[in-house]
Amino acid sequence: MTTLLFRRDPYLQEAPAVVLQHSPEGGIVLDQSLFFPTGGGQPGDSGWLIWEGGRVVIATTTRNADGVIVLVPGSASALPPSGAAVVQRLDWERRYRHMRMHTALHLLSAAVSRPVTGGQIGAAKSRLDFDIPDPVPERGNLEERLNLLIGSDLRVTESMIAEEDLAAQPQLVRQISAPLPQGHGRLRLVGIGEGAGQIDLQACSGTHVARIGEIGRIQVAEIARKGRNSHRISITLDS
Ligand SMILES: [Zn+2]
């Protein structure tokens, strides 16, 4: 099984690895992965693998049907052979934007405080779909509240919860976060703020920034009706 380096330290940009195998689809499986696989609305990581005598662009990263993390090459160039020692390097600029956006969506779900029915994270624009009857939040007001929250620079925390304990607290599960068991039937809880000052807590397997101030100013780009009780709220980063 691949060790999840992105889980241990989401700020790690470069690390060594050994190629375990090539997948039948032509992807690469490593003993430890910096590359986050597509999931919970967050796109898979891209970057490069470098080894003695070679280099390949990684276009994206997925999980196959068995849950194995597969790095998908961006071209048909030669791949590092099984057993090869490689250096894996992330497209950090893109990943860091995903981390900022992902954490901003936690804030958005806390600020709107309605059931989330879907969502998508992108480096340029991200969105959540909410089950919201009228009236919907006013765009400028919501944007101001979100930026006030970001200004508080609360810490993002992680803890573990047993699957059966999570099942007893369904409010901690939101569709966007698509929590995955982390082994031994435990899942990860991601909180924003601590103790009485905690403003959000949900099961999530994505990558987040350490403090919400790192998100920087955001804009609520659009609040669009998607159905009778469904609204889509899109956000962009100021920089
Ligand atoms: Zn998350």
More confident residue, 96 or 65: 96
Interval between CA 80 and ligand 1 midpoint (Å):
32
Interval between CA 102 and ligand 1 midpoint (Å):
6
Task: Indicate if the pLDDT at residue 175 is higher than 60.
Answer: no
Q: Last residue of some domain: 49, 72, 90?
A: 90
Query: How high is the pLDDT of residue 15?
Result: 98
Interval between CA 114 and ligand 1 midpoint (Å):
16
Distance, CA of 29 to CA of 23 (rounded, Å): 7
pLDDT band with cut points at 50, 70 and 90 for residue 181: low
Interval between CA 60 and ligand 1 midpoint (Å):
19
Q: How many domains does the chain contain in total?
A: 2
Interval between CA 70 and ligand 1 midpoint (Å):
21
Interval between CA 204 and ligand 1 midpoint (Å):
5
Residues 116 and 79 in one domain: no
38-49 pLDDT, tens per residue?
Answer: 998 999 999 999
Task: Indicate if the pLDDT at residue 182 is higher than 60.
Answer: no
Q: Residue 11 region, left (φ>0) first, then alpha (ψ -120 to 50), else beta? A: alpha
How many of the other CB atoms lie within 10 Å of CB of 170?
8
Residues 118 and 8 in one domain: no
Interval between CA 194 and ligand 1 midpoint (Å):
16
Query: How high is the pLDDT of residue 238?
Result: 93
Please state which of the ranges 46-50, 64-68, 102-106 shows the lowest mean pLDDT: 64-68
Query: How high is the pLDDT of residue 169?
Result: 84
Distance, CA of 129 to CA of 199 (rounded, Å): 20
Query: How high is the pLDDT of residue 224?
Result: 94
Residues 100 and 79 in one domain: no
Residues 12 and 86 in one domain: yes
Query: How high is the pLDDT of residue 184?
Result: 64
Residues 84 and 103 in one domain: no
Interval between CA 128 and ligand 1 midpoint (Å):
12
Residues 101 and 40 in one domain: no
Residues 149 and 120 in one domain: yes
Interval between CA 199 and ligand 1 midpoint (Å):
14
Residues 44 and 146 in one domain: no
Evaluated on CA atoms 27, 35, 107, 219, the torsion sign reads negative
DSSP bridge pairs for 118 = 129
The whole-number average pLDDT for the span 198-209 is 93
Interval between CA 14 and ligand 1 midpoint (Å):
22
Interval between CA 168 and ligand 1 midpoint (Å):
20
Residues 24 and 107 in one domain: no
DSSP bridge pairs for 220 = 235
Q: Last residue of some domain: 57, 90, 123?
A: 90
Interval between CA 235 and ligand 1 midpoint (Å):
16
The whole-number average pLDDT for the span 133-151 is 94
Q: Last residue of some domain: 74, 90, 106?
A: 90
Task: Indicate if the pLDDT at residue 173 is higher than 80.
Answer: no
Q: Which CATH number does the domain housing residue 60 bear?
A: 2.40.30.130
Residue found by looking up tokens 């691949």 in the block: 2
pLDDT band with cut points at 50, 70 and 90 for residue 225: very high
The whole-number average pLDDT for the span 134-163 is 94
Residues near ion ligand 1 (CB < 5 Å) are 204, 206
Contact 216, 100 (CB under 8 A): yes
Task: Indicate if the pLDDT at residue 178 is higher than 60.
Answer: no
Task: Indicate if the pLDDT at residue 185 is higher than 60.
Answer: yes
Contact 107, 221 (CB under 8 A): no
Residues 47 and 128 in one domain: no
How many of the other CB atoms lie within 10 Å of CB of 146?
23
Of 3, 215, 35, 227, the closest CA to residue 111 belongs to 215
Would you give the DSSP letter of residue 207? -
pTM: 0.93
Residues 112 and 160 in one domain: yes
Interval between CA 99 and ligand 1 midpoint (Å):
9
- Helices (H) and strands (E) in the chain — how many of each? 4, 15
Where in the sequence is the domain holding 60, given as residue range(s)? Answer: 3-90
Residues 156 and 99 in one domain: yes
The whole-number average pLDDT for the span 81-94 is 98
Query: How high is the pLDDT of residue 33?
Result: 98
Q: Which residue blocks in the chain are alpha helix, DSSP H?
A: 5-8, 92-112, 139-151, 163-167
- Tokens standing for residue 193: 């703020």
Interval between CA 208 and ligand 1 midpoint (Å):
6
How many of the other CB atoms lie within 10 Å of CB of 151?
11
Interval between CA 15 and ligand 1 midpoint (Å):
23
3-state secondary structure of 122: coil
Q: Which CATH number does the domain housing residue 119 bear?
A: 3.30.980.10
Distance, CA of 76 to CA of 159 (rounded, Å): 41
The whole-number average pLDDT for the span 74-78 is 86
